[in-house]
A and B are shown apart, each in its own frame.
Chain A
Amino acid sequence: MGEVTSSRVGLTRRSFLKTAGAAGALGLAGAAGMTSSSNWLAPVEANADEGAEERVAYTYHQKHCRGNCMLKCTVRDGRLCKIEPNMAAAKGFQSVCLKGLSEIQHVYSADRIQSPMKRVGERGSGEFVAISWDEALDIFSENVKSCWDKYGKSSVYLAAATESEISNMRNIMQCGYTSYHGIDIGISNGLAPMFGFKAASAVNDIRDWKNCKTFIAISLNFIETSLTHSRHYFNAMEAGMHTIVIDPHYSSMASKSDEWIPIEPGTDGAFYLGMASSIIDNEWYDKAFMRDHTTFPFLVSTVDGTMLESPEGDFMVWDPTTSAPKSYMETNDQTPLEGEFDYEGVTYATAFTLFKEGQKTQSVEWAADVTKIPASEIERIAKMYALDTPSVLAIGQGGCDKYNNSDIAGHAAGILAALTGNIGKSGTGLGYPGNGGYASATLPSWPLKPEMKTSSFKTPVYELPYVENDIRCYITLGDQIMQHFADLNKVYEWLMTLDFVCYIDIHAISGSQYADLILPISSRFESETEIGGVQAVRDHIMLREKVIEPLFESKSEYELERMLMDSLGLGDVMHKTTEELVSYQLANIKSPLVDQVTIESLQANQGVMTVKNADTPYCPMKSLKFPSPTGRLEVYYDKYLKFNQALPVFEYPEETAPDSDVRAKYPLQYAQSRTRFHIHDQFCDSTWIQELYKTCVEMNPVDMKSRGLSDKDDIVVYNDRGEFSCPVRSNESIRPGSIRIMEGEWTKFMKSGNYQNVTNPTIIPRGRVMAYGPVIPYNDTLVEVKKA
């Protein structure tokens, strides 16, 4: 075969044929059909009969990817046959992705839970039989009531996936419940104190990125994980935004940036601190912003690190005219940002002086050594961030967020914004860009009796296998078993000790195997009634109409919630129909952005309404009045003095530290990322997705060669916690010394085992005092691999 090179794109004839192999292989699977020539060359018919009845309904899709796609659905002869973006949505919000389109198949998936099922074998054996809803409800209510009688109401724990719309049940049942979910919170733990715990980011609408000059994305693969919003990223780049992506791997985001800077995994905090040192050394900081909008000028005791307060409880700054402290509210242009001051026998320093002093051990050179990014590069990026402004520091919830040192990184990132003033104003941004920055009305929840609240249970759920607790009944809405624990073998041991495990989901994902009772719910396309729900997100109010009837024996979430509460004799406090709930929510929207909205007004506009000013990018902190008690960015965390973290002091992760004892036996860092092909554990069973992507471990060819591995070999990934097996793919995008897997894959689609069997569940004491609870350090995991 001759190699014909196209001069324009470097695409070779052979590379066409190679990649054609994927399609060809699929084609060959059907080649057996060649043995029969019957029906060959039959006349062509139209896709649908002439008289086929078609109708259109509107719904919304998943929110967990931050997509919130509003969809126009065509139903032909009772079956969902076409999905398109709803063009009644505002421009820039008319979207669908490969997953939304795959719902054509996915709602009819072979892995749908078709009917209620009860366990017949040992727990965990996966042996179930189909039962009636009557029997299922009896089993549910008997077991819940039995736990209530024996151990009290807080012995029942309800864990719900972000995607779930069920919100009343845990309150009505007064369940054990915590908002500590162990993921997507690490950086926020470090940023929240800066805003007095009233916010965890200062993120403008992503349409405002077009006003940004320097965009730094770190541990963030936004164009893949929030792919329907990517257009705004490209619009901003076309408007002149310079993008720098910091990531250990050559991610999708990295491949679409101006610069990719590879970093040692788990060291983002050191990178930020190196930038901060560079900004200090070169005096690139914004003194006026620091003085007027941060706590950098506040006085701190050099003896014990406490902040000086007036008798009235005001924090103090130094007054050079009186040589005495005064309230920070009297700050003026004479207020010193730096200095040490003696007052009543104690020496006080400003928070900025303490920070500068502390940074002497966290220099640019030190950061270069830790992160493996050259000092000159850290300095160059710091200069761009500080001077080529406005700048965005966009931080992801994967990568560094999955380490126990992520709060330190979050704190350091906040300090960078506080030093440079890259916050609040148009073109700036700090933190995870997927949640905030949209003007949205808030929908009220259904009013319950005041005593109906979750219990005061405070243990993070992923600690339950390891600590004494009162939980005896675990109800999971969506697969909270696979998605919210590490080291699954320990989790299975814990599940075996419980009195009752109930699993509620659309599809039978891996965790369902450990249930006593499995209950089927339906998708966002199905509803018993004409109106299925409503959401107010991302500048829109969106209605969910019935597209098709609930499939099989499944129930919509609201219907199931009512049935379960009725079975406990508590259903009378709930709305009687979904339409009643939706009408109540719409009638009680309290927002200056919405005048009046009803089911009818939404239906008249293809199920959507944009809120007022939806065409103006929303910048929630542009007044620079921050939501903290002082109205400033509170950079000094005296609350964390006992952990030596009043100001950020870098700590290595535990297991993957350079000098970790585990490295000798297990030399590879195990990273899990989110892929555009799945939303965590959703869509893994979609055959339209499986045609495009199958889960594998990706590995740099250097590490494969040293282990004698070839592309597509089945491998075993293992450490002392456990193992799993799947194919390996050779990929130069992966940092040598690390391997990568896309999280969420079901056990049944692996060669064996679950990808969470090897992950690190260790919680550190500092995590327990953090605003959003401790982190599950999934990426702080070391493994070795071998050929299966």
Chain B
Amino acid sequence: MAKLGMAINLFRCIGCNTCVNACKMQNSVPMGMHWNRVLTEGCEVFDGAEGTYPNLTRTYIPLACQHCENPACLRVCPTGATYKDDKGRVEIDYDKCIGCRMCMAACPYNARVFNWSEPVRDPDFNYGDKDVPVRPKGVAEKCTMCKERTDRGEEPMCVMCCPTEARVFGDLDDPESAISKFLGEKSTFVLLEEQGTRPQVRYFK
């Protein structure tokens, strides 16, 4: 058993979107969808700012599945397609997903996307990791914590590619892991704590 998790340094995050494309490539995410995206806090426009010129602040928030300990999506899934796996990740059994999208309504982080139509890829082949399953039309999908990579003992692609080294990944249950040691030293927070979802993705500034 393990509890894989991540900590994201919001001061180091420059909103570059490298993690967004790293995820899209690794997981063969079709056009019109992202499993991982970067928000500019409080702004409709990317690279906007909160406040009034010249008294401004800006925080980029990379956002994907929070791999909650108490996942809102899991509770509403009528078929058991969404499950918590033995590494503590929230995963989807695509063969069991009936496309009801209850999970999408339940997720407070809007982390899931849905294949409304036949997935369109540009370029039109299945790029990315060869072991990643291709999701058909009619199923929900989201960040898997790079299941295929982390099963092989590798870091998720967003962690590996982050140009500012803003992401720390590891097993929260292992007191010797880099992330456990890190969380022991840093004060971190979770998004929408009041939702009671207990995310395994933590943030700090």
Contact = CB atoms under 8 A, between A and B. Distances in A.
A731 B45 contact: yes
A43 interface: yes
A9 B205 CA distance: 10
B94 to A, nearest CB: 4
Interface string A251-265: 010011000101000
Contact of A234 (B11, B37, B110): B11
B14 interface: yes
A40 B110 contact: no
A3 to B, nearest CB: 12
Contacts of B132: 46-47
A384 interface: no
* Chain B interface mostly: loop
* Chain A interface mostly: mixed
Max chain B CB contacts within 10 Å: which of A101, A224, A698?
Answer: A101
A31 B164 contact: no
Interface in B51-108: 51-54, 56-59, 61, 94-95, 97-99, 108
Contacts of A155: none
Contacts of A664: none
Contacts of A85: 160-161
A691 B31 contact: yes
Interface residues of B, number: 83
A9 B203 contact: yes
A231 B15 contact: no
Nearest to A50: B130
Contacts of B57: 255
B194 A700 contact: no
Contacts of A687: 31, 122
Nearest to A6: B192
B192 A692 contact: no
A10 B47 CA distance: 17
Contacts of A698: 45, 47
Contact of B44 (A11, A18, A97): A18
A744 B126 CA distance: 30
B20 interface: yes
Contact of B95 (A20, A43, A252, A692): A43
Interface in B124-140: 125-139
Nearest to A39: B137
A135 interface: no
Nearest to A37: B138
A23 interface: yes
B94 A47 contact: no
A700 B53 contact: yes
B182 interface: no
A748 interface: no
Contact of B163 (A17, A227, A731): A227
Given A230-B164, A687-B31, A700-B53, A33 B118 contact: yes
A39 B136 contact: yes
A41 B93 CA distance: 12
Nearest to B23: A101
Given A9-B203, A41-B138, A676-B16, A82 B58 contact: no
A83 B14 CA distance: 21
Given A30-B117, A104-B127, A711 B192 contact: no
Given A691-B34, A732-B53, A47 B47 contact: no
Given A8-B190, A22-B37, A224-B14, 15 more contacts: A10-B42, A19-B40, A41-B97, A41-B98, A44-B134, A45-B134, A48-B130, A82-B127, A97-B16, A234-B11, A256-B14, A676-B14, A692-B46, A711-B44, A732-B51
22 contacts: A9-B41, A19-B40, A22-B37, A26-B32, A27-B116, A30-B117, A44-B95, A45-B133, A52-B130, A79-B125, A81-B125, A84-B157, A105-B123, A227-B18, A230-B164, A255-B57, A676-B14, A691-B34, A692-B46, A698-B45, A731-B47, A733-B48
Interface of A: 4, 6-13, 15-20, 22-23, 26-27, 29-34, 36-37, 39-48, 52, 54, 76-77, 79-85, 95-98, 101-102, 104-105, 108, 223-224, 227-228, 230-231, 234, 250, 252, 255-256, 260, 262, 676-677, 687-688, 691-693, 698, 700, 702, 711, 729-736
